[in-house]
Amino acid sequence: MTYAYLFKYIIIGDTGVGKSCLLLQFTDKRFQPVHDLTIGVEFGARMVNIDGKQIKLQIWDTAGQESFRSITRSYYRGAAGALLVYDITRRETFNHLTSWLEDARQHSSSNMVIMLIGNKSDLESRRDVKREEGEAFAREHGLIFMETSAKTACNVEEAFINTAKEIYRKIQQGLFDVHNEANGIKIGPQQCISTSVGPSASQRSSRDMGSDSGCC
Amino acid sequence: MKRWHEPKPAPSGASEAGPGGMAERPPVPACPTRRPGRLQRHLLSGEFDQLRDLPIFESNFVQVTRLGEVANKVTMGVAASSPALELPDLLLLAGPAKENGRLQLFGLFPLQFVQLFVHDESRWQLKVKFRTGRAFYLQLRAPPETRDRKFGQWVRLLYRLRFHSAQGAVPFTQEYSALEDDKDEDPRRRV
């Protein structure tokens, strides 16, 4: 499968915030309520369409537990996009965002696009972090912000795709050097060759979606 | 770039870098002209910059249940994140993508959080157990004429990993225990 660009994403944030569930929802369109703790890095991939260009998202789902952090942060390098995830029902996961953000900024390209995600928006009755707090944090640190639910799929597509849109916009503005591998962007092969990597866990084309979705 | 296709086939003592050794002795392939394995070629294809230059010892397996029933195809490799390391420190798991059968990398796991055991030597089976308790069984897929040799290389590698690890007390060959609470699981937990 040909693609114009490959973008490397990382998903980071505290353990149990739903990083792996977000990935599973995005790549396989399903939700798994009980999920094993992630050790190291697990991978997912999917094709999306941005402005008529096929873009392959290669997603590195990292372990959130503190004991794995020193290992997983070494894989932040070369990411074009990051999904920084917290759980809207657990205040402490929001409080730890600064630490995650410092890590991300320290170990990756300064151009990396970061999407702040308040996950588990379906659990409104247990909400512990107001949407406005997430918005304020994102504004203060120059992040994009969305609340999502990996369970209901609300805003999951948008979170991944809007991050890709922003990366693509930066490419068009010349802010990303696509020939520098450290930026987490690769130019796709001109044509499919038999030895190329299989496209993805779940390869679908997505329509170019609007930046706002009112489902959450 | 260092190419580490296979541990040295001859047995060696635990105090020197033999099978699995990364630093003291260059990882001389048993067969220098051997083509890189599927996983190595997959990583060399260019989509995984950070993993492209990893020297990997890999084999193809089928996942089996504890009783030996065959499930999925799995390619497992061990790699060193740095050529300076004496022993590999990463486990890589890959398998065919659902859509087209092409190899797809599922995960990369620090070996310090994974234990590898010989499950059934007569069936060339290994057990992979994560620190979280998740475990599965893999049976080596290789031509009959090379299967014993290849499995022997895995056994020696496991031996070196075990006796060089901080948790040296963990037995090398795990005996089945009725108290064992782990269960068969799919390494491709997303698939």
Say whether B81 and A28 touch across the interface (CB within 8 A).
no
Q: Do the domain assignments include residue A209?
A: no
Which residues of chain A have a CB within 8 Å of the CB of B90?
Answer: 40
Per the structure, the complete domain to which residue B114 belongs is given by 38-166
Mutate to test the interface with A, among B50, B72, B190 (most CBs of A within 10 A): B190
Q: Which residues contact B88 (CB under 8 A, 6 or more apart)?
A: B20, B22, B57, B78, B79, B80, B111, B157, B161
Rounded to a whole number of angstroms, the distance between the first and last alpha carbons of chain A is 33
Sequential pLDDT tens for chain B (191 residues): 333 444 433 333 333 333 444 444 444 444 445 678 899 999 988 888 888 888 899 999 999 987 777 889 999 999 998 888 889 999 999 999 887 888 999 999 999 999 999 999 999 999 999 988 889 999 999 999 999 999 999 999 999 988 776 554 443 344 444 344 445 565 655 43
Q: Do the domain assignments include residue B121?
A: yes
pLDDT tens readout for residues B151-188: 999 999 999 988 776 554 443 344 444 344 445 565 65
Q: Closest Cα to residue B34, out of B3, B65, B74, B75?
A: B3
Q: Do the domain assignments include residue B175?
A: no
CB-CB contact of A122 with A151 (8 Å): yes
Q: Do the domain assignments include residue B126?
A: yes
One-letter amino acid identity for B9?
A: P
Say whether B107 and A43 touch across the interface (CB within 8 A).
yes
Which residues of chain A have a CB within 8 Å of the CB of B47?
Answer: 6, 58, 186, 197
How many structural domains are present in chain A? 1
Q: Do the domain assignments include residue B88?
A: yes
Q: Do the domain assignments include residue A47?
A: yes
Q: Do the domain assignments include residue A180?
A: yes
Q: Do the domain assignments include residue A205?
A: no
Quote the mean pLDDT of chain B: 76
Say whether A74 and B101 touch across the interface (CB within 8 A).
no
Per the structure, the complete domain to which residue A104 belongs is given by 3-185
CATH, residue A120: 3.40.50.300
Report the half-sphere exposure of A23 (CA within 13 A, side-chain side): 31
How many structural domains are present in chain B? 1
Q: Do the domain assignments include residue A96?
A: yes
Say whether A40 and B106 touch across the interface (CB within 8 A).
no
Say whether A36 and B100 touch across the interface (CB within 8 A).
no
Interface of A with B (CB under 8 A): 6, 23-24, 27-28, 36-37, 39-45, 58, 68, 71, 74-75, 77-78, 181, 186, 195-203
CATH, residue B84: 2.30.29.30
Which residues of chain B have a CB within 8 Å of the CB of A199?
Answer: 97, 99-100, 102
Q: Do the domain assignments include residue B70?
A: yes
Map tokens 């660009």 to a residue: A5
Query: What is the value of ipTM here, to two decimals?
Result: 0.82
pTM, whole model, 2 decimals? 0.81
Q: Do the domain assignments include residue B108?
A: yes
